[in-house]
């Protein structure tokens, strides 16, 4: 078998293109405040496995990130929010994240939640992210992807999940210690602990 034939058989086809829903909040969009975009701060792209997609981040996360002087965006991958469903599986979700990141003004920070954390981790193996933040990750591949360019990586997990084999595998793969937060991994978008977690993530980004 020729090399060309082998490549044609093993290369995954390009996922079907979809019109992705995105939510964006820029510092200048915020009312009752005179916030300005920090040109030295990387934009942030958020992605979750929640069916609500980008809308899950709107009430707190995007506004708080923009208050920090960062261009804040969230993407609904295929089948989430108002993004139409299309075939492709995990590879297509990762493709959607990469394409959304490419469309942002500068190299972006990828923040993934739940299944979205796994998609962002795989996206960071293709796209040179400014940083990677995984919050309560689910369904990570057995072989944890290595990010392009070795960006800083943060892992945030619920206290109840901190000793799980999944978390241990991530900490070993990236050589990091997890940040733990109280409550459920599904409560990071609202509730009394959500803002504290987000403040910790932004503080970590600003130290980088």
User: What is the DSSP secondary structure assignment for residue 73, as one 8-state letter?
Assistant: E
| pLDDT per residue as tens, the chain (208 positions) | 454 544 444 455 778 889 999 999 998 887 666 666 677 889 999 999 999 999 999 889 999 999 999 999 999 999 999 999 998 889 999 999 999 999 998 999 999 999 999 999 999 999 999 999 999 999 898 899 999 999 999 999 999 888 888 899 999 999 999 999 988 888 888 877 888 999 999 999 998 6
- pTM, rounded to two decimals: 0.90
Q: Where are the beta strands (DSSP E) in the chain?
A: 21-25, 44-48, 72-76, 109-113, 131-135, 153-158, 179-181
In CATH terms, is domain 3-207 a member of 3.80.30.10? no
Which residue matches tokens 């490549």?
Answer: 7
**Could you give the CA distance from residue 129 to residue 131 in angstroms, rounded to a whole number?**
5
Domain residue spans of the chain = 3-207
pLDDT, tens digit (0-9, with 9 covering 90-100), for 75-85: 999 999 999 99
- CA diameter of the chain: 66
Q: Are 198 and 60 a contacting pair, CB within 8 Å?
A: yes
Residues 6+ apart with CB under 8 A from 100: 20, 22, 45, 47, 73, 75
pLDDT, tens digit (0-9, with 9 covering 90-100), for 144-162: 999 999 999 999 999 988 8
What's the confidence (pLDDT) of residue 7? 40
């Amino acid at each position: 078998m020729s090399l060309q034939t082998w490549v044609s058989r093993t290369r995954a086809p390009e996922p079907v293109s979809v019109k992705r829903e995105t939510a964006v909040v820029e510092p200048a969009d915020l009312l009752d405040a005179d916030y300005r975009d920090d040109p030295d701060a990387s934009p942030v792209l958020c992605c979750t496995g929640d069916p609500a997609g980008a809308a899950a981040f709107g009430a707190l996360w995007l506004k708080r990130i923009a208050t920090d002087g960062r261009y804040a965006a969230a993407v609904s991958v295929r089948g989430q929010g108002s993004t139409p469903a299309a075939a492709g599986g995990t590879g297509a979700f990762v493709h959607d994240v990469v394409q959304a990141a490419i469309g942002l003004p500068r190299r972006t920070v990828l923040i993934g939640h739940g299944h979205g954390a796994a998609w962002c981790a795989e996206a960071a193996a293709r796209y040179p992210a400014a940083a990677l933040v995984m919050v309560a990750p689910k369904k990570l591949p057995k072989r944890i992807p290595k990010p392009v360019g070795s960006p800083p990586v943060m892992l945030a997990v619920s206290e109840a999940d901190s000793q799980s084999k999944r978390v241990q595998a991530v900490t070993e793969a990236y050589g990091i210690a997890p940040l733990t937060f109280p409550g459920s991994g599904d409560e990071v978008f609202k509730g009394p602990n959500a803002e504290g977690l987000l403040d910790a993530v932004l503080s970590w980004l600003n130290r980088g």
